[in-house]
Structures are given as C-alpha cells and as structure tokens.
Amino acid sequence: MQKYKNAPKRAKTHFSPSYGLGIAEIRLPRIRNIDDKSWFFCKFAVEKKINKFKLVAQQLFSSGLLENAVQEFSKLPGIGRKTALRLVLHLLKQPENETEALGNSLISLRKNVVYCKVCHNISDTEVCNICSNAARDAETICVVENIRDVMSIENTQQFRGLYHVLGGVISPMDGIGPSDLEIESLIQRVQSEKIKEVILALSTTMEGDTTNFYIFRKLATLNLKITTIARGVAIGDELEYADEVTLGRSILNRVDFNNTFRQ
Ligand SMILES: [Zn+2]
C-alpha cells in the first residue's frame, strides 16, 4: 500500500451493469499526474469491482424455468435480479395452489379488466361503481391524472362527486400531447351532462399546470365553475421548512378561519 501512496484513496467509478447481457461497463475518470504503478493499482481495484458485478449479472441457474421466472419478475419496476430470485424461490416454497392463485389472478386481471366508458377509471363493468352510484353528486367532476389519484381522493372520504381520469398530463418532453389524453371526452361530458363544477386535481408540476391551463381554456366558454385543489403548507408542516413558492401561495390563497373547522 505504501508503494502506491500517490494513488487516489478511492477510484470514483460509475457502473452501469446490464444484467440481461451480463455486461458491466465502467468509465474511469481521467486521472492526471499518476505514475504507472498507481494506475495499475487503481485498475486492479476497479476490475475486482467489475468482476463482482459480473458474478451477479451472469449468475447461472440450474433450471431454464427458474431463469425465465427471474427474468419476468426483474422486468417489474423496482425489482432487481436478486430480489426477483428471492421472490421466485419464495413462491416455489409456497403450496402449489397459492402460486396458481397468484398466476390466475394476474391472467384474469389482464383479460377481464375494463376502463369505465364515462370516467376512464379502472372497472369490472362498462360503467364503474362510482359513476353508477346514484348517491353521488353528478354535477361535480374531479379531473385527475391517473387511477391512483382516484384511490387517494376516495380514501379521504371528503369528495362525493364523480371523476374523470385523463391518463396522464401534457408533457411535450415525453411526446404526450392533449390528443393522447382523455381531454376531448371531458369536454364532451361537460357539454352533454349537467355539470356545475369541474375540479382540477392534477399534480402541482409544470406539466400539471400546463394541463390545468389547457383544460381551463377549453372549458372557459362554458357556463360552469372551474376550481383547483388548494395549494399551500401541508398539515403538520412547520412554516420555516416550507419553500418560498408554497408559503407565498399559502398567503395569497388564505382561507376564512371558519372553514378550517370543517371536516
Ligand atoms: Zn366511471
């Protein structure tokens, strides 16, 4: 170690392993004024790391079926090859009928799930149970980005109106324009039904705001109230930790104190 005192203590390395191909690529930063010995010392340390990655990447399975299952699981978001293997081995340990139930539920989900023809929410029937519920306020539509937002708002138990799922937000960077979303069907719905209020409940991002504004422009000529969900300091937050934009918006959009008592 003494001999290579000029070598950097830690070689900064950037790995981008491609598990599918069993390849680990590495880019070494340019190191100036370094003697050959130190350079080879670094190279050796880096190659050791690469080989460790290759071991995971080229993990050999004794069964092609296992390999297939691991590959399929590792396609899921947030699941790496190691986690995939752990899940697959766990399933193998379970009783056969439980693994079958999991497989069947996935097949049935993929084959039978439909999207509500009114609000585009996920459903088992042509019209979802929210749209077909007569007890709900059919004059108010809450516009959301995706199905998970419907679930989030439903969990609050504070909204009794209907929904309209856009399926995303306008994002030119990702090539998503208004025609890729369920905006036209929202306008038709507002025109054909007796809608009194449209609540825009999209993300407070630039894309969300762009979509809000686009919908607002499209609906502005119609005789209805267009609102957006409140933006401000979150419940339980301390003011000193709130960012300036949020805090500024909270001051501008201050509410009557009486309203804060409402549940
Ligand atoms: Zn519906």
Ligand 1 center from residue 164 Cα (angstroms): 8
Q: 126 alpha carbon to ligand 1 midpoint, in Å?
A: 8
Task: For residue 54, give the nearest of 13, 22, 32 by alpha carbon.
Answer: 22
Out of 3.40.1360.10, 2.40.50.100, 1.20.1740.10, 3.30.450.20, the CATH code matching 122-229 is 3.40.1360.10
pTM: 0.68
Q: What are phi and psi of 216, to 5 degrees?
A: -60, -45
**Digitized pLDDT (tens) for each residue of the chain, 263 residues in all:** 444 555 444 444 444 444 444 444 455 555 566 677 777 777 777 777 766 666 555 566 788 899 999 999 999 999 998 999 999 999 999 999 999 999 999 999 999 899 999 999 999 999 999 999 999 999 999 999 999 999 999 999 999 999 999 999 999 888 999 999 999 999 999 999 989 999 999 998 999 999 999 999 999 988 899 999 988 888 888 888 889 988 998 898 888 888 777 65
Rounded to the nearest whole angstrom, what is the distance from the C-alpha of residue 125 to the centroid of ligand 1?
Answer: 9
The rounded Å distance from CA 197 to ligand 1 centre is 17
pLDDT, tens digit (0-9, with 9 covering 90-100), for 107-160: 999 998 999 999 999 999 999 999 999 999 999 999 999 999 999 999 999 999
Structure-block tokens of residue 107? 């097949």
Domain ranges of the chain: 2-57, 64-112, 122-229
Distance between Cα 146 and ligand 1 center (Å): 13
Report how far ligand 1's centroid is from the alpha carbon of 148 (Å). Answer: 14
Centroid of ligand 1 to alpha carbon of 110 (angstroms): 19
For 199-218, the pLDDT digits (tens) are 999 998 999 999 999 999 99
The C-alpha atoms of residue 221 and residue 226 are separated, in whole angstroms, by 11
Å from CA of 130 to ligand 1 middle: 6
State the residue for tokens 């297939």. 68
Determine the topology of domain 64-112 in CATH: Helicase, Ruva Protein; domain 3 (1.10.8)
Model pLDDT, residue 62: 80
- 21-52 b/e with 16+ CB inside 10 Å = b? eeebeeeeeeeeeeeeebbebbeeebeeebee
| Spacing, Cα 261 to ligand 1 middle (Å) | 31
Are 114 and 171 within 8 A, CB to CB? no
Q: From the CA of 122, how far away is ligand 1's center (Å)? A: 8
Closest-CA residue to 29 (of 13, 8, 51): 13
Q: Report the separation in Å between the CA atom of 11 and the middle of ligand 1, taken as the mean of its atom positions.
A: 56
Residue 201 CA, ligand 1 centroid: distance in Å: 16
- Ion ligand 1 — residues with CB < 5 Å: 116, 118-119, 121, 128, 131
Distance from the alpha carbon of residue 71 to the mean position of ligand 1, in angstroms: 36
